[in-house]
Each structure stands twice: as structure tokens, then as C-alpha cells.
């Protein structure tokens, strides 16, 4: 079976959290989203209606792949009424010209659902993919292409290597996670015990390769 060896790196967080994974080449962007969730401490429920939004950005393709249903519907309506929407933006006042030009450019970006597209073409062509999870906290990952394997024998992803624990939700993004780590690893800090207790309840765990690999087997391709 064909597969890809990839790296997953969480941006703007120190020390660097990274993972190296093999996943079947049949993976969709939905599968890749699930892999990123499983190798981190996130809950992995972002595909649910009530869950956090995520997206893969491919500006070279004028493409955004997301579970944002509102954006998907909005783009579909735009395509059906392109001339009318374009004229309305052009007729706007000078005061709002820059805003409307930016808005029109965003509407022109193609919106696709993550389960609709396989990653292979885009990963091989661009060698890296940007993934943003949770629009409030904006956790940003870079997925990097390492190489293609032609004789992969499993039908699920496998974690090969990695380092550092990943954050949990509701920490205030990369900046908040940095502050959390300072308190978490400082026994002398007055809030150390309460922060550790809170983190344990939230499911914060040190990096554990075996546990992550068990989670990865849950992904269906």
C-alpha cells in the first residue's frame, strides 16, 4: 500500500512540539485532521457540529479546506450570484473600498469540505500544508512531506517519533500555552499545584508514543 511519511509541527510554541507519522496515501483532509488531533492533546471532536472549526489553507490553489459549513454555504451562494455580488461590492463607497475588495477576494477563494479531497496531490506538489485549529485560539500546524512509501502494510497511521507534549484547548493559544508551561514546570510558583490539578482534569499528558499509536488505530480510512 502506498503511504506518506510526514512531519507535524506546532508553530509558535517553545520547545517545539513535533511528530513524525506514516499514514496511508488514501487519507483525506478529514483523516489528516484526525491524525493531528490524535497526536496532540486536543479532544478530536472538531468534526462534530458543536466542535471547533479548522482549516487547511492552500493559497497557491486559491483553496480553503474547512469544516466551516457557513463559509461553504456562503461561497456556494456567491458562485450562483457572482455578477450581482461583484457589482454590489464595486458600487460601495470609497470609505469601504479596501474592506470590500478584501471581502470579495475571500469570497473568490474556493471552499471544499475536508472529506471531499485526498491529501496526496497537494502534499506531493507543495511539500507542506498549513493547518489551523480553533479560530479563537488559532493553533497553527505545518504538515511536511518527508517521502513516499510504496510498501506500507498497515491500513492505519503509525507514529514513528516525536517530542514534547501538545497543548490542550482553552489555554489562550500559543502565548497562553507558554505561560501555562512556566507555571506547570515551576514547583515554586504559587499557582503550580492548582494549575497541575486543572491540567490533569483537562487530559494534559506528557508525550507517550505508545498511547498515541493506540489512538491512531481508531481512525477509519
Q: Could you tell me which of 170, 176, 165 has the C-alpha nearest to residue 202?
A: 170
* pTM for this model (two decimals): 0.86
Q: What is the CA 64 to chain-centroid distance, rounded?
A: 12
For the cut 80, the answer to whether the pLDDT of residue 80 exceeds it is no
So what's the pLDDT on residue 75? Answer: 83
> ∠ CA 164-169-174 to the nearest 5 degrees?
60
Query: Which whole number is the average pLDDT over 154-180?
Result: 90
Residue linked to cell 479531497 = 117
Distance (Å, whole) CA 117 – CA 109 = 16
For the cut 90, the answer to whether the pLDDT of residue 111 exceeds it is yes
3-67+113-216: which CATH number, 3.40.50.300, 3.40.50.1010, 3.10.290.30, 3.40.640.10?
3.10.290.30
So what's the pLDDT on residue 188? Answer: 94
> How large a percentage of the chain has pLDDT more than 90?
60
Give the single-character DSSP code of 116. G
So what's the pLDDT on residue 81? Answer: 72
Residue ranges covered by each domain of the chain: 3-67+113-216, 68-109
Distance (Å, whole) CA 1 – CA 24 = 7
So what's the pLDDT on residue 25? Answer: 95
For the cut 80, the answer to whether the pLDDT of residue 134 exceeds it is yes
So what's the pLDDT on residue 104? Answer: 66
Q: Could you tell me which of 63, 53, 52, 56 has the C-alpha nearest to residue 28?
A: 56
For the cut 60, the answer to whether the pLDDT of residue 91 exceeds it is no
Least confident of 36-45, 87-96, 183-192, 208-217: 87-96
For the cut 80, the answer to whether the pLDDT of residue 48 exceeds it is no
Mean pLDDT, rounded, of the chain: 87
Residue 10 cell numbers, joined: 506546532
Long-range contacts of 50-55 (CB under 8 A, 24+ apart): 52/133, 52/134, 52/135, 52/136, 52/169, 53/134, 53/135, 54/114, 54/131, 54/132, 54/133, 54/134, 55/131, 55/132
Angle at which helix 209-216 crosses helix 29-38, to 10 degrees, equals 150
Query: Which whole number is the average pLDDT over 49-57?
Result: 78
Amino acid at each position: 500500500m502506498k503511504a506518506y511519511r510526514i512531519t507535524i509541527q506546532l508553530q509558535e510554541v517553545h520547545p517545539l512540539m513535533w511528530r513524525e507519522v506514516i499514514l496511508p496515501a488514501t487519507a483525506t483532509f478529514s483523516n489528516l485532521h484526525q491524525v493531528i488531533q490524535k497526536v496532540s492533546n486536543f479532544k478530536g471532536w472538531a468534526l462534530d457540529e458543536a466542535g471547533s472549526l479548522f482549516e487547511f489553507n492552500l493559497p497557491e490553489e486559491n483553496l480553503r479546506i474547512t469544516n466551516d459549513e457557513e463559509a461553504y454555504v456562503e461561497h456556494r451562494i456567491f458562485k450562483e450570484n457572482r455578477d450581482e455580488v461583484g457589482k454590489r461590492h464595486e458600487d460601495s463607497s470609497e470609505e469601504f473600498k479596501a474592506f470590500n475588495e478584501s471581502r470579495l477576494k475571500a469570497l473568490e477563494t474556493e471552499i471544499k469540505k475536508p472529506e471531499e479531497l485526498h491529501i496526496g496531490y497537494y502534499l506531493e506538489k507543495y511539500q507542506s500544508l498549513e493547518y489551523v485549529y480553533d479560530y479563537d485560539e488559532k493553533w497553527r500546524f505545518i504538515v511536511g512531506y518527508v517521502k513516499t512509501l510504496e510498501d506500507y502494510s498497515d491500513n492505519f497511521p503509525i507514529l514513528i517519533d516525536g517530542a514534547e507534549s501538545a497543548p490542550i484547548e482553552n489555554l489562550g493559544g500559543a502565548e497562553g500555552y507558554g505561560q501555562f508551561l512556566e507555571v506547570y514546570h515551576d514547583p515554586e510558583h504559587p499557582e503550580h499545584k492548582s494549575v497541575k490539578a486543572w491540567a490533569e482534569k483537562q487530559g494534559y499528558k506528557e508525550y507517550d508514543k505508545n498511547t498515541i499509536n493506540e489512538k491512531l488505530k481508531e481512525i477509519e480510512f
